[in-house]
Amino acid sequence: MKKSNIYLGVVLLLALVVRLWNVVSFDLYSDSSLYSFRSLGLFDYIGGGQTTPIQWFGSIPAWASLSFHDAPPLVFWIQHFFFVIFGDTTFAARIPFVLVGVVATYFLYKWLFKVSNERVAIISSLIFALMSYSVWAGRVGYLEGITLCFVVICCYFLNLFLKEPTKHKYLYFMSIFLGLSLLTKYTAIFLFPVIFFSLLIYRKEVFQKEIKLHFKPWLISLFLLIMVLAPVIIYNCMVYSFRGHFDAALSSMLGIKADDFSTLASRSMSITWNKLFAPLITISQVLSLPFFILFIISLLGAIIKLVRKKLDKANVISLLGILSLTVMFIITGSEVRFLPIFIPFVAVLVGNFIYNFIIYLNRYKIIKVISIIVITCVLSFEIFYSINTNIVRNPKGAPGIFYSETRFYDRGWNSLENYLKLNIFPKDINISNINSLEDLNIGANEIKGRQVVFCDDRVDWFAYSWYIQKYRFYYKLPIFPVSMLLKDKDAFSSNISQLNKAGAGGYVFIYAKSDLVMSSGISERASLAIDSFATGMEKGKIGYEDIMNYQGETAFRVFKIK
């Protein structure tokens, strides 16, 4: 076996280990919960000020199954495939992102092996595999974690096409993976200027005579791109014809205000002074300080080499990628969840810089040894920072220095779900298809003989969607907000009376004890009523079970009334 294959195997194994290690120990949160909730049944619904086709029409039109109201469909389809295999678990929700991170590492290596050399490929792919931000993106469950993989593959085929422009298969594959990138997240649109300027720099003849003489391959590549994007094209055409706007993501990008997406109305696309350095500032918050400094040095070094016309294709494409992304995110906003698609280009620049810098120092033996030691320390600290941020449940040291505050938490949601599955929910339940609003109703058949669950209205809405609401929607379990019992003096007795008549087998109240599992959204009066209700149950000596978080604190208190 070649040494290069052994090195690649080690890098891929490391990439897998750091993404998979403790991956189920942390809760799903924020939009990753919503993506998983909808992927489970390929059902487009979230509430919270964003309406979807099922709410517009009362049922789901056939065309509405082609995409989702706020994002393209590919990540949802991929996640759904893993849910079918592994069930509705946190592992199934995260494993596609883990595996895609490993695939991205492989293609980054192949890309640089083709256009640079083996050592640059190993260094850059190792950096990509272990960098804190990369590991986070490969575990968190946001769309960008899969987008960046298709971006890397698209750049891989772009490089091959630049190297051998007569092999049109590379052009076709580039178009396919460009389409797949856009089918995961529209922000992959940044690839268009990257591809255009790469062709302009390295293959001017494409614009001068190639397209005229060989028009057919370009027409085929355009056809392939359109075919890959057909689901979102059809979906958006239908949404526009019925509602007068495109999907939420596309409408936001185009500055279209839609009442159907009222919570997004505050988003604006503009350039202000405080946005100019926002992407760099955001990236600095998810990398260790020494490594971020190394990245800035690598970036400046690449720019200097570009001016001197001494830069290879991989670095040029990476600089174009960083420039295109920076311009886009200056306009659209630089939230940490949106920027993982910077990661491959960061790894390429840093890997190339390290290799070329060490080669340059061959004539200065002592300085070379010192530099290798310093760079090794920087990379080692980044690995420690990555593990401390993404894998360790109780990270060591000061936040922002020894680990990023953009990290994972075990706030008790996984433990709550495990408890409910073992002790409350029936075992013989299957996912049901949702085709209309009527399918969301809970009737007497769903209540008879089952324990009725009342959940604290104050719990985090995102996590609630995955950990609680999925059982109501997909499994038709009787789960309700506890506020329905506390609306007024008669609400409790009347609702319990109706549930008793329907044959309820008992009652469960999930009470949020920790602020970490709560979010704002209800009035102080309603919150006090919930606390008073829980206090009353404690005084009434109603049996309960405490669900703990990673800090050993009570996250939830689950009361059971037979």
- How far is 231 from 228, CA to CA, in rounded Å? 8
- How far is 40 from 87, CA to CA, in rounded Å? 9
**How far is CA 4 from its chain centroid?**
32
Which residue has better confidence, 73 or 269?
73
pLDDT of residue 300: 94
Note whether 467 and 345 are same-domain residues.
no
236 lies in some domain? no
Mean pLDDT in residue range 278-293:
94
486 lies in some domain? yes
The answer to whether the beta carbons of residues 476 and 432 sit under 8 Å apart is yes
Mean pLDDT in residue range 170-191:
97
- How far is 276 from 416, CA to CA, in rounded Å? 43
pLDDT of residue 265: 54
Note whether 332 and 479 are same-domain residues.
no
Q: Buried b vs exposed e over 416-448: b needs ≥16 C-beta within 10 Å? A: bbebbeeebbeeeeebeebeeeeeeebeeebbe
Alpha helices in 308-364 (DSSP H): 313-332, 343-360
Decide: helix, strand or coil at residue 24. coil
Decide: helix, strand or coil at residue 507. strand
Note whether 459 and 373 are same-domain residues.
no
Count of H-run helices and E-run strands, the chain: 26, 5
549 lies in some domain? yes
Which of 430, 414, 416, 412 has the alpha carbon at shortest distance from 509?
Answer: 416
Which of 417, 384, 556, 394 has the alpha carbon at shortest distance from 91?
Answer: 417
Q: What angle do CA 249, 284, 123 make, to 5 degrees?
A: 100
Token representation of residue 82:
């893993």
Note whether 417 and 386 are same-domain residues.
no
The answer to whether the beta carbons of residues 383 and 402 sit under 8 Å apart is no
> Helix 343-360 crosses helix 365-390 at what angle (to 10 degrees)?
160
- pLDDT tens digit sequence for 192-249: 999 999 998 888 777 666 666 667 888 999 999 999 999 999 999 999 999 999 998 8
- pLDDT tens digit sequence for 414-429: 999 999 999 999 988 8
Note whether 198 and 113 are same-domain residues.
yes
The total number of residues written for the chain in this structure:
562
pLDDT of residue 123: 96
- How far is 383 from 390, CA to CA, in rounded Å? 10
pLDDT of residue 274: 66
pLDDT score of 266 more than 60: no
pLDDT of residue 523: 81
Mean pLDDT in residue range 381-389:
96
pLDDT of residue 353: 95
- pLDDT tens digit sequence for 505-558: 999 999 999 999 998 678 888 889 899 999 999 888 889 999 999 888 999 999
- Spatial neighbors of 223 by CB under 8 A, at least 6 apart, are none
The answer to whether the beta carbons of residues 134 and 149 sit under 8 Å apart is no
- pLDDT tens digit sequence for 61-82: 999 999 999 999 999 999 999 9
pLDDT of residue 312: 81
pLDDT score of 384 more than 90: yes
253 lies in some domain? no
19 lies in some domain? yes
239 lies in some domain? no
Mean pLDDT in residue range 442-467:
92
Token representation of residue 232:
């979102």
Point out which residues pair with 436 in neighbouring strands: 59
User: At 548, which helix (H) or strand (E)?
Assistant: strand 544-548
pLDDT score of 383 more than 80: yes
The answer to whether the beta carbons of residues 412 and 556 sit under 8 Å apart is yes
pLDDT of residue 53: 94
Note whether 513 and 369 are same-domain residues.
no
pLDDT of residue 462: 92
pLDDT of residue 207: 67
Structural domain for 95, as ranges:
3-24+89-228+269-390
Does this model's pTM top 0.75? My answer is yes
Token representation of residue 19:
């993404």
- How far is 450 from 482, CA to CA, in rounded Å? 17
Secondary structure letter of residue 504 according to DSSP:
B
Note whether 93 and 188 are same-domain residues.
yes
- pLDDT tens digit sequence for 307-319: 887 778 888 999 9
The count of structural domains within the chain is 2
Which of 244, 275, 274, 272 has the alpha carbon at shortest distance from 260?
Answer: 244
- pLDDT tens digit sequence for 6-49: 999 999 999 999 999 999 999 998 899 999 999 999 999 987 77
Mean pLDDT in residue range 380-405:
94
Question: What are the DSSP calls for 195-241, one per residue?
Answer: HHHHHHHH-THIIIIIHHHTHHHHHHHHHHHHHHTHHHHHHHHHHHH
Note whether 336 and 421 are same-domain residues.
no
137 lies in some domain? yes
Note whether 133 and 95 are same-domain residues.
yes
Token representation of residue 114:
């083709």
Note whether 187 and 319 are same-domain residues.
yes
Return phi, psi of residue 123, to 5°.
-60, -50
Confidence of residue 303 (pLDDT cuts 50, 70, 90): very high
pLDDT of residue 271: 62
Token representation of residue 303:
């720019």
First to last CA, the chain: 65
pLDDT score of 94 more than 90: yes
Q: What angle do CA 320, 321, 325 make, to 5 degrees?
A: 115
Note whether 281 and 385 are same-domain residues.
yes
pLDDT of residue 522: 80
What percentage of the chain has pLDDT greater than the value 90? Answer: 70
What percentage of the chain has pLDDT greater than the value 70? Answer: 96
Point out which residues pair with 47 in neighbouring strands: 50
pLDDT of residue 554: 94
Secondary structure letter of residue 73 according to DSSP:
S
- Spatial neighbors of 43 by CB under 8 A, at least 6 apart, are 54, 434, 473, 474
Q: Is 37 left (phi over 0), alpha (psi -120 to 50) or beta?
A: alpha
pLDDT of residue 267: 58
- Residue 270 CB-half CA count within 13 A: 6
Note whether 298 and 181 are same-domain residues.
yes
Greatest Cα pair distance in the chain? 88
Confidence of residue 50 (pLDDT cuts 50, 70, 90): confident
- How far is 412 from 424, CA to CA, in rounded Å? 17
pLDDT score of 336 more than 60: yes
pLDDT of residue 221: 94
283 lies in some domain? yes
Mean pLDDT in residue range 487-495:
82
- How far is 100 from 45, CA to CA, in rounded Å? 26
Token representation of residue 158:
């772009």
- How far is 149 from 102, CA to CA, in rounded Å? 9
pLDDT of residue 213: 65
CA distances from 246 to 19, 65, 118, 133, 319 (A): 35, 15, 45, 32, 32
- In 10 A of CB 357, how many CB atoms? 16
Confidence of residue 489 (pLDDT cuts 50, 70, 90): confident
pLDDT of residue 88: 93
